[in-house]
Copies of this chain bind each other. A is one copy, B any other.
Amino acid sequence: MQQTNIVMNKCDQCIVRQLSSLKALNKEEVIKLASSKTTYKIKKGEALFEEGEVTNGVFCVKDGVGKLSKLSANGKDQIVKLVKSGELLGQRSMISNEPANLTAKAIADMEVCFIPKTEIINFFNNNNQFSLNMMQSVCEDLKESENEKIALVQKTVKQRLAETLLHLHDEFGEDADKTLKVQLTREELAGIIGTATESCIRLLSDFNKLGLIELVGKKIMLKDVRALKKLADN
């Protein structure tokens, strides 16, 4: 009894439990989860898994920020998605029964839990709400991916940079000094908007000169959100 409570607390109070598909799990399922999960700490720059690897489960992001990306032939790293605490990672490969299509690396030190596939399949078979949640989460990813695909073609690099800065602001918020909380290198930022690092740097300079943003060392502060929005949309 005592032990059960201890084990349960581990997962029950977890932010991932509260925010992800896992919120549909009942008490017993959470207890089961707590006993089957493994916790890892991933240092900034390290990989959770690489493209082509068989993961056989999903990762819960308890803390930190990760990126899902794919290396191109010419050595450029295209970032497909950023993940933050509360989210699950590796759902798609697991469901499709395929090796990872993308590489997952930590952008900020991460704390993650690994849930083996057998466990997830169990939940999936016995808890309809859980599978509906998971499905909706994949659908959300699909919608985002499609919209980004369209933006990639229909918008200029400048527009995409403005859009991405706003996104990062919305999703990750700002530090005490009002700069963006996610610390991306210019190269990573370029990898998100899909452009050359130099082009990204140049546009950041332009935005800075125009008063849209302010460059505080390597950090970025949004100064004129309205103007950025206007730039991004039109």
* Chain A interface residues (CB < 8 Å from chain B): 70, 72-74, 76, 78, 80, 91-92, 95-98, 101-102, 124-125, 128, 131-132, 134-136, 138-143, 145-150, 152-154, 194-195, 234
Contacts and interface: CB of A to CB of B under 8 A. Distances in A.
Interface centre among A128, A131, A135 (most CB of B within 10 A): A135
Given A135-B135, A148-B149, A154-B194, 13 more contacts: A70-B150, A72-B154, A74-B154, A78-B154, A80-B146, A80-B150, A92-B139, A92-B142, A102-B146, A124-B128, A138-B142, A145-B146, A152-B194
Contacts of A95: 132, 135-136, 139
Contacts of A78: 149-150, 153-154
Contacts of A140: 96
The count of identical subunits is 2
Given A78-B154, A131-B131, A136 B101 contact: no
Contacts of A73: 154, 234
A149 B194 CA distance: 9
A149 B101 CA distance: 13
A101 B146 contact: yes
12 contacts: A70-B146, A78-B149, A80-B146, A92-B139, A96-B139, A98-B143, A101-B143, A101-B146, A131-B132, A138-B142, A142-B142, A152-B152
Nearest to A195: B153
Contacts of A153: 78, 152, 194-195
A174 to B, nearest CB: 27
Contacts of A101: 143, 146-147
Nearest to A81: B146
Nearest to A191: B153
Nearest to A140: B96
Given A70-B150, A152-B153, A131 B135 contact: yes
The 8 closest A-B pairs by CB, nearest first: A153-B194, A72-B154, A145-B145, A142-B142, A96-B139, A149-B149, A78-B150, A95-B139
Contacts of A92: 139, 142-143
Contacts of A76: 154
A147 B80 CA distance: 9
